[in-house]
Chain A
Amino acid sequence: NAGVTQTPKFRVLKTGQSMTLLCAQDMNHEYMYWYRQDPGMGLRLIHYSVGEGTTAKGEVPDGYNVSRLKKQNFLLGLESAAPSQTSVYFCASGSGFSGANVLTFGAGSRLTVL
């Protein structure tokens, strides 16, 4: 049982390049989230999904797009990378038991934009 897997773990891009981060979960969770974390800062929500085929904007959605075509996968795309998008990206998926919101996080993807 792998939990939440993020690929790639590390990536270096040049300004203007595009890329996609993949988040895969094998826990049959409905809810999935993408966060970014800059050095010394807290987590900021980029986009999230409350089910297959649905996505919604978080706090800092500009410059990113997402898709949730399959329940187990949540993709985060950068169409034209900028140095300001240098960050560590975390994906999470959520399940509820007894009405509680419990998130399981991936190990993170470290992106550097030159």
Chain B
Amino acid sequence: DAKTTQPPSMDCAEGRAANLPCNHSTISGNEYVYWYRQIHSQGPQYIIHGLKNNETNEMASLIITEDRKSSTLILPHATLRDTAVYYCIVRVVDSWGKFQFGAGTQVVVTP
């Protein structure tokens, strides 16, 4: 699985959009980009994933650059409940086995 790089922390004002970057410059053509988040003391929660097209669901949007070397998770209207650690993970399509999380980005949404 390709390595990912995320900033260790970022702040966001409540009600504003939160844009979380992830660099995955060594990604292969058969690897998905996944985002999970972990609210304090809880188990991680799946947010969204994508291969090369932009994706949107009820939680967030995922924008993947044309060369697929980086992506951005967008929380359109951040709330205090979005304060969490966000993990960007790259994995080969339809592969299981080891599923490892990196350090992630600590996002703090402030009033």
Taking the closest CB of chain A, its distance from the CB of B106, in whole angstroms, is 10
- Cβ–Cβ contact A43 & B101, under 8 A: yes
Tally of A-B Cβ pairs under 8 angstroms: 71
Residues of A within 8 A of B46 (CB): 102-104
A101: contacting residue among B43, B91, B103, CB under 8 A: B91
Q: A43-B44, A100-B49, A101-B32 are in contact. Are A58 and B98 (CB under 8 A)?
A: yes
Q: Which residues of B89-111 are within 8 A (CB) of A? A: 91, 93-104
Q: A48-B98, A56-B97, A103-B36 are in contact. Are A42 and B43 (CB under 8 A)?
A: no
Residues of A within 8 A of B102 (CB): 42
Residue A107, interface by CB 8 Å: yes
Residues of A within 8 A of B34 (CB): 100-101
B85, B91, B95, B96 — which one has the most chain A CB atoms within 10 A of its CB? Answer: B96
Q: Which residues of B63-104 are within 8 A (CB) of A? A: 85, 87, 91, 93-104
Say which size band chain B's interface belongs to. 20 to 34
- Cβ–Cβ contact B101 & A107, under 8 A: no
Residues of A within 8 A of B96 (CB): 30-31, 50, 94, 96, 101
Q: A42-B104, A100-B49, A103-B36 are in contact. Are A94 and B43 (CB under 8 A)?
A: no
Residues of A within 8 A of B85 (CB): 42
Residues of B within 8 A of A59 (CB): 98, 100
Residues of A within 8 A of B (CB): 4, 30-31, 33, 35, 42-43, 45, 48, 50, 56, 58-59, 88, 90, 92, 94, 96, 99-108
